[in-house]
Amino acid sequence: MYNNGNHSRKPYAFLTFTAMARQYINYNGKIYHSGKLIISPDNRSFRYGDGFFETMKMINGRIILQPFHFERLFSSLETLRFEKPSYFTEAYLKQQVEELVAKNNHAGLARIRLMIFRGDGGLYDAENHFPNLLVQTWQMDNANNRLNENGLVTDIFPHARKACDLYSPVKSNNYLPYAMAALWAKENRLNDALLLNSFNRVADATIANIFVVKDGAVLTPSLQEGCVSGVMRRYLLQCLRKENIPVQETQLSAEDVYNASEVFLTNAGYNLRWVKQVGRYGYQNQLAAFLHNKFVVALLNG
C-alpha cells in the first residue's frame, strides 16, 4: 500500500480494508441497512459539527485499548455538554459494537467508528442534548497490523492552523482543517500532511499523532498544543516511560521535525507508521521498528 513511486503513492489515511462496502449500521441501538437516511437537514452535527467520534480496532472480538477508548469517549461527552442517559455505559456501547460486527461478518479484524452527535436545532436552540449514536464497521486487512516497509512521505500543510483550547483534544465532527489537509496531501502525491497550531508549531497529522526522535529523546506535542488526545499516543507514552526511554510532551517546531533523526505517526487503526520524508528532509526508522516490535505486536496479540 505504501508505494513511494511518484504516480502510485496513496494517502495513508485510506487504510486497507478487505471489504469496503458497509452492509449495516447501528443507529441508537437499532440495526439498519447502511444506505438508510437517519438525520434531518436540521441536524446540529450536519450543520455545525456538533459531536465527536471514536475510531477503534477489534481483533477476534477484543477491542484494542478498550479502557482508553471509552475513557476518552465519556470525557468527550462531558466536555461537549451532552446529557448521558443512565443506560449509556461502556457495557452498553460495547454490546452495540459487538452486535454490528457480528451482523457485518467483521469479527476477525474490524475497524469501528462510533459517532456521537446532538440532534436537531439551531445554534442557540438545540432540541435536546441526547447523545445520538451511530456505529459503523469495516473489515480490515492484516497488513494494517504490520509496520510499513516503505516510509511515509509527508509535508506540512500551509493553509490551516489548529486552535489550542479546551476542545482541541476532542475527535470532533468539525474536521475541516484535517479534511482540507488530506485533500492537499492527495493532490501533492503525499501519504499524509502535518498540521500546525495557531503558534505555527506542529500539532499532529490528518488522522494521527506525531512523534520525533531528536538528540536522544522522543518528543511529541503536548495536549496543550492542539493535538487530538490519541489513544495509541497515550499507550506509547506509557510504554516509553516504563522502558525508561527519554520522552517529552512538549512544543514541537517545524525545525524540530526537520532536524529529527526519526519521525513516526500513531493512531488506533494502523498503530505506528514510520515517516521517510517531511518536505525535503529524510529519516530512518530504527527506534520506530523497535517500538513496533516490542509494544505494538504485544498489544495486538493480547
| 21 plus 89 within the same structural domain | yes
pLDDT of the residue at 268:
96
**With a threshold of 0.75, does the pTM exceed it?**
yes
Q: Which residues contact 158 (CB under 8 A, 6 or more apart)?
A: none
- Cα–Cα distance measured from residue 118 to residue 52, given in angstroms and rounded to the nearest whole number: 10
What is the tally of structural domains in the chain?
2
Residue 279 is placed in which grid cell? 518536505
Scored b (16 or more CB within 10 A) or e, 146-167 reads ebbeebbbbbbbeeebbebeee
pLDDT of the residue at 91:
97
| 198 plus 226 within the same structural domain | yes
| 290 plus 163 within the same structural domain | yes
| 118 plus 259 within the same structural domain | no
pLDDT of the residue at 17:
39
| 27 plus 129 within the same structural domain | yes
For residue 88, being part of any structural domain is answered with: yes
pLDDT in tens, 112-134: 999 999 999 999 999 999 999 99
| 269 plus 205 within the same structural domain | yes
φ and ψ at 172, to 5 degrees? -75, 150
| 168 plus 125 within the same structural domain | no
| Amino acid identity at 291 | L
pLDDT of the residue at 38:
86
For the chain, the C-alpha Rg in angstroms (whole number) is: 19
For residue 59, being part of any structural domain is answered with: yes
Give the residue carrying C-alpha cell 447502511. Answer: 34
Q: Which domain holds residue 186?
A: 152-301
Cβ pair 118, 130 in contact under 8 A = yes
pLDDT of the residue at 208:
98
pLDDT < 70 regions, the chain: 1-22
pLDDT of the residue at 36:
84
